[in-house]
Amino acid sequence: MSKSATKPAPVRGEWERYGWSIGVVVVLTVLGLLLRRSVDASTLGMVYLLGIVGISYWWGRGPALISSFLGVLFLDYFAIPPYYTLAVTNSQSWITLTVMLVVSLVISALATKSRESEKHRAAAEDEKNRNALLSAVSHDLKTPLTGILGAASGLLEDRGTLSGEERRQLTRSIYDEADRLKHLVQNLLDMTRLEAGALEPKREWQSLEELVGVAVNQLQSGLAAHPLEVRLQPDLELAFVDGLLVEQLLINLLENAVNHTPIGTPIQLSVSEAGGRVVLEVADRGGGLAPGEEIAIFEKFAQGKRSGGKGAGLGLSICRAIVLAHGGGIQASNREGGGALFAAWLPTGGRPPSLREE
């Protein structure tokens, strides 16, 4: 193999960074030519320094160093008398050029360091999020899988000693844990869509009563341990929303209440319309929110201090993304007498077509 074949090709991005940096210095020089009769050389030097700060931050140390030396040369050649020569005739000009060079080199070093520190912080934050996701997801996956394997093992090893009721309970356990696993995977898929910016509501006229019914039915096993009260405003009109996303919104809110409240405590789901928007509320009688969690609880991977570490911290962040995609909002608060209240609102989309025709 020839040497030319093994020689690495130059990185186009590197040359582009230097090219853009030199271009910035040239533009500043043209600006200096226009202003040199109005301002002194030290003021023009400040203009170069501002450009070097931006070059350092956007394109790094190498382009910043080149720009620093070019800036000093251009300032001397075009802005310090005698013009169009590099000769320096007085000590003040020497001081101006020397100070500008030193300051520009220091600024480029500091700006580059700040840029690198920001990258390191961003990388550390990404790593922290990945670790948090892996930790939470591994725990949440392990729990239902363990339950499924245990129940399935009991059925496989049965030699006719289990009663019909015991077999039914094991089968029910497999179903419940598989359903729990399905909700977790759904949340992970939704979060992937959010990260990719692919959450675009497919709005259609939907019956709110039907959406509530589907959500409650899907969480039937989890809600079995909690008295559920559903309050629907009479004569609810159709809403112009993405039915699947609103179902997921209701499921996540209800599942959040189920997971973070003691068994036997009541849960209340209310749906109403007012002022051109539909309001969905889920209230519980659990431990409520700690001070300051009202907003932070909707962040990705966030878990309430009183949650006991349950869940991956994705459900409520997905709820927020769904309502924001619809042009709505969501908030959390504590209830009088204990518990939490989650209220989400979505625009109804106006009156349904059938009502317009009438």
Q: Is pLDDT larger for residue 239 or for residue 317?
A: 239
Three-state helix/strand/coil letters over the chain: CCHHHHCCCCCHHHHHHHHHHHHHHHHHHHHHHHHCCCCCHHHHHHHHHHHHHHHHHHHCHHHHHHHHHHHHHHHHHHHCCCCCCCCCCCHHHHHHHHHHHHHHHHHHHHHHHHHHHHHHHHHHHHHHHHHHHHHHHHHHHHHHHHHHHHHHHHHHCCCCCCCHHHHHHHHHHHHHHHHHHHHHHHHHHHHHHHHCCCCCCCCEEECHHHHHHHHHHHCHHHHCCCCEEEEECCCCCCEEECHHHHHHHHHHHHHHHHHCCCCCCCEEEEEEEECCEEEEEEEECCCCCCCCHHHHCCCCCCCCCCCCCCCCCCHHHHHHHHHHHCCCEEEEEECCCCCEEEEEEEECCCCCHHHHHC
**Residue 196 above 70 pLDDT?**
no
Do residues 193 and 199 make contact, with C-beta atoms less than 8 angstroms apart? Answer: yes
**CATH classification at residue 214:** 3.30.565.10
Residue 191: what pLDDT?
67
Domain identity same for 105 and 183: no
**Residue 280 above 70 pLDDT?**
yes
Q: What are phi and psi of 145, to 5 degrees?
A: -65, -40
The residue among 92, 121, 150 that closes a domain is 121
Instruction: Give the rounded distance of the alpha carbon of 348 from its chain centre.
Output: 26
65 Cβ neighbours under 8 A, 6+ residues apart: 105, 108
Band the pLDDT of 25: cuts 50, 70, 90.
confident
Amino acid symbol at 107: I
Instruction: Give the rounded distance of the alpha carbon of 256 from its chain centre.
Output: 20
Residue 279: what pLDDT?
96
Q: Which residues pair with 241 in a beta bridge?
A: 204
- Domain range enclosing 21: 3-121
Average pLDDT, the chain: 79
Do residues 251 and 216 make contact, with C-beta atoms less than 8 angstroms apart? Answer: no
Which one, of 14, 21, 6, 82, lies nearest residue 51 by Cα?
Answer: 21
The residue among 87, 121, 155 that closes a domain is 121
Band the pLDDT of 345: cuts 50, 70, 90.
very high
Do residues 220 and 180 make contact, with C-beta atoms less than 8 angstroms apart? Answer: no
Residue 301: what pLDDT?
66
Band the pLDDT of 257: cuts 50, 70, 90.
very high
Residue 291: what pLDDT?
86
Q: Is pLDDT larger for residue 166 or for residue 10?
A: 166
Please give the model's pTM, rounded to 2 decimal places. 0.55
User: Domains in the chain: how many in total?
Assistant: 3
Region 314-324: mean pLDDT is: 87
Domain identity same for 155 and 272: no
Q: Which residues pair with 26 in a beta bridge?
A: none
The residue among 105, 121, 137 that closes a domain is 121
Region 162-186: mean pLDDT is: 81
Domain identity same for 106 and 220: no
Q: Is pLDDT larger for residue 36 or for residue 263?
A: 263
Domain identity same for 250 and 314: yes
CA end-to-end span of the chain: 81
Domain identity same for 110 and 161: no
**Residue 193 above 70 pLDDT?**
no
Domain identity same for 281 and 251: yes
Beta carbons within 10 angstroms of residue 12's beta carbon: 8
Domain identity same for 234 and 322: yes
**Residue 246 above 70 pLDDT?**
yes
- Render pLDDT for 222-242 as a digit per residue (tens, 0 to 9): 888 899 999 999 989 999 999
Q: Is pLDDT larger for residue 166 or for residue 77?
A: 166
**CATH classification at residue 163:** 1.10.287.130
Domain identity same for 171 and 232: no
Domain identity same for 182 and 224: no
Band the pLDDT of 150: cuts 50, 70, 90.
confident
**Distance between CA 188 and CA 181 in Å, rounded?**
11
- Render pLDDT for 79-123 as a digit per residue (tens, 0 to 9): 777 778 787 777 766 776 677 777 777 777 777 677 777 777 877
Domain identity same for 175 and 295: no
Residue 356: what pLDDT?
44
CA atoms within 13 A on the CB side of 265: 18
**Distance between CA 105 and CA 114 in Å, rounded?**
14
Domain identity same for 224 and 336: yes
Do residues 259 and 313 make contact, with C-beta atoms less than 8 angstroms apart? Answer: no
Domain identity same for 177 and 220: no
